[in-house]
A and B are shown apart, each in its own frame.
Chain A
């Protein structure tokens, strides 16, 4: 076991359903992710990569196995305790952006801070700063309907980093964007990873996007099939 790892999975399985209808999505996954790494998770549909991301993001608990995050045994935590873990250490970016409609970019970005109980002025300042980091200064008052897809994903990234999380989990972040916008989003994720040391775990099925990562983990049929790291350029 690698004790220096931020995240450590040992023999993780996940079974959906019961009895004859049971489906085993993960069949014993071992994975260590050190702090500050940019990991891409790839694999065909049904390979278990999304299930793995849900478990890594503490959205779901494993059926069996050990999951340590910052030396916390996540598999023993209750639903609310996992929520607190997400609130304090994790940020999420989704394929479908998942912004609150009819709500300004700034209010969307402020949302995680509301749950942390931040003061109003501090909240506004942090939201504006996060929006500036993703290059959306001047767009604070716009609602998602008034923003392009790329801009919406930038707002979503701003919302994910406004709490300064340890880990950013991205589920197909470029899936709904054209290739040009996709590369811009990837550049943004890389710079957040390099400059702020945020660990990024990204699920994607596009090899050209996975190319941005330090490490590519391929899932096949509920198991890790290959795990390749490369030197940063």
Chain B
């Protein structure tokens, strides 16, 4: 039996070799199909990993509290009041599961240093921001207590801002114009790279919240966002509920009124995003799988042509004493060998395409042995399914008729 299979494989490979160009064109559909499936899935996995990496760089176990009803497009924030600095103190005092509570107000502002200017996101916050946002100071220092209390004009700049405005040397002690006031640079943040939505996380300027309130937003007490950092090992859900209860109380919402603020868990955001990407990956993979199927039809077509074209050859084999199932096996194995070879070429092609695309998109390249194996096995199966009909036709030929076939 093994000997027979080996012989059939040998015959099949000889037949493929005799028609090298046509064999290649035949399997091109399978090559492209396999490469497309693997590329889609590999890129999807890479994107998922990238998003979860970036979300975790935001700071693990971070809750974000915002006015308005819900996250996403069409967010209804109309009429929802901002938070007050007093809310920050109340949350800090009443919810012990929180490690740090950072108030944030911000706006997009033009920065000027020397003859350079640059548009950036300026945020007013406190030292708690470094804990909550998982930021490290690369050089310089954090805010001092009196700077925070008095709202002094000092700031800490992100890596991108430094690169744009102070490409050479340390900017510490230099001055920068923020909107209409001058601010002393006291520190530079460690770079984090691209954010989950593709934005540059390092394109920021931080200053004490009072400074920002007074000089940028012109409103001395409002806070637009609160970043709440959970203590290690604390489960997010009950804490979110505590925060919600406290805020409902403080904002004097009646029993049946909806929340006019919302609390988000960054982990939850990461999961939602990853879920979306996974769905997209599955969808694109399915589309690619259809092209693989179309490739199979190409193989059936050529195998049928091949059976007709090789009728005399089949007649010779039958006359020599080939059994029906041997001829069937030969053509079946030929189809499977063709499509499996196509699968292998597709895997190699996908490897190069994935390497190129992930490098281009700054994505991690995650080699997924599962999908490679699956695509390969599937290409072999396609050979069996689409090769069977032509093979059976070959096996059933009458040797006398086949030998006379012109």
Q: Measured between C-beta atoms, what is the minimum distance from A53 to chain B in Å?
A: 10
Check A98–B400 contact: CB distance below 8 A. no
Q: Mark A78-93, 1 if CB is under 8 A from B, else 0.
A: 0110011111101010
Query: Which residues of chain A come closer than 8 Å to B322, judged between CB atoms?
Result: 83, 87, 115
Asked if A86 and B320 sit within 8 Å, CB to CB, the answer is yes
Would you call B18 and A59 a contact (CB within 8 A)?
no
Q: Contact at B403–A94, with CB atoms within 8 Å?
A: yes
Q: How far is the CB of B304 from chain A (nearest CB, A)?
A: 20
Please determine whether A88 and B321 come into contact, CB atoms closer than 8 angstroms.
yes
A15 proximal to B (CB < 8 A)? no
Chain A interface category by residue count: 20 to 34
Interface centre among B18, B324, B399 (most CB of A within 10 A): B399
Count A/B pairs, Cβ under 8 Å: 59
Contacting pair B11 A114 (CB below 8 A):
yes
Q: How far is the CB of A57 from chain B (nearest CB, A)?
A: 8
- Checking A60, A92, A94, A102 against B18 with a beta-carbon cut-off of 8 angstroms, the contacting residue is A102
- What is the bound-complex CA distance between A54 and B69, given in angstroms? 89
CA distance A60 to B401 in the complex (A): 11
Are A117 and B3 within 8 A (Cβ)?
Answer: yes
In the assembly, what is the distance between CA of A90 and CA of B381, in Å? 38
- Interchain CB contact under 8 A, B14 and A103: yes
Q: Does A75 contact B (CB under 8 A)?
A: no
Give the distance to chain A from B12, nearest Cβ to Cβ, in Å.
12
Q: Does A111 contact B (CB under 8 A)?
A: yes
Task: Convert B1-28 into 0s and 1s, putting 1 for each residue whose CB lies closer than 8 angstroms to a CB of A.
Answer: 0011001001100100010000000000
Q: Decide: B399 and A59 in contact? CB cutoff 8 A.
A: yes
Shortest distance between the CB of B11 and any CB in chain A (Å): 7
- Contact count band on B: 20 to 34
- A107 at interface, CB cutoff 8 A: yes
Contact pick for B7, options A54, A83, A102, A117, CB 8 Å: A117
Assess the B400–A60 pair: CB atoms within 8 A.
Answer: yes
Task: Please give me the residue from chain B that is nearest to A159 by CB atom.
Answer: B320
Alpha-carbon distance A34/B318, docked complex (angstroms): 26
If A54-B400, A98-B403, A114-B11 touch, whether A92 touches B319 (CB-CB below 8 Å) is yes
A59 to chain B: which residues have CB within 8 Å? Answer: 319, 399-400
A100 at the interface (CB under 8 A from B): yes
- Among residues 318 to 350 in chain B, which have CB atoms less than 8 Å away from a CB atom of chain A? 318-324, 326
CB < 8 Å neighbour of B10 from A88, A99, A100, A114: A114
The answer to whether residues A100 and B316 also contact, given A83-B322, A83-B323, A87-B321 and a CB cut-off of 8 A, is yes
B247 to chain A, nearest CB (A): 82
Q: List chain A residues, Cβ under 8 A from B324.
A: 79-80, 83
Report whether A83 and B321 are in contact in the complex, using a CB–CB cutoff of 8 Å: yes
Answer yes or no: B317 CB below 8 A from chain A CBs: yes
Within the complex, the shortest CB–CB distance from B6 to chain A, in Å, comes to: 9
Query: How far apart sit A83 and B399, CA to CA, in the bound complex (Å)?
Result: 10
Whether A222 sits at the interface, judged by CB under 8 Å, is no
Write out, one digit per residue, whether chain A residues 100-111 have a CB within 8 A of any chain B CB (1) or not (0).
111100010001
**A62 on the interface (CB 8 Å rule)?**
no
- Contact residues of A with B, CB < 8 Å? 54, 57, 59-60, 79-80, 83-88, 90, 92, 94, 98-103, 107, 111-112, 114-115, 117, 159
6 interchain pairs (CB within 8 A)?
A: A59-B319, A85-B321, A88-B321, A100-B316, A102-B18, A115-B323
Residues of B whose CB lies within 8 Å of any CB of A are 3-4, 7, 10-11, 14, 18, 312-313, 315-324, 326, 399-400, 403
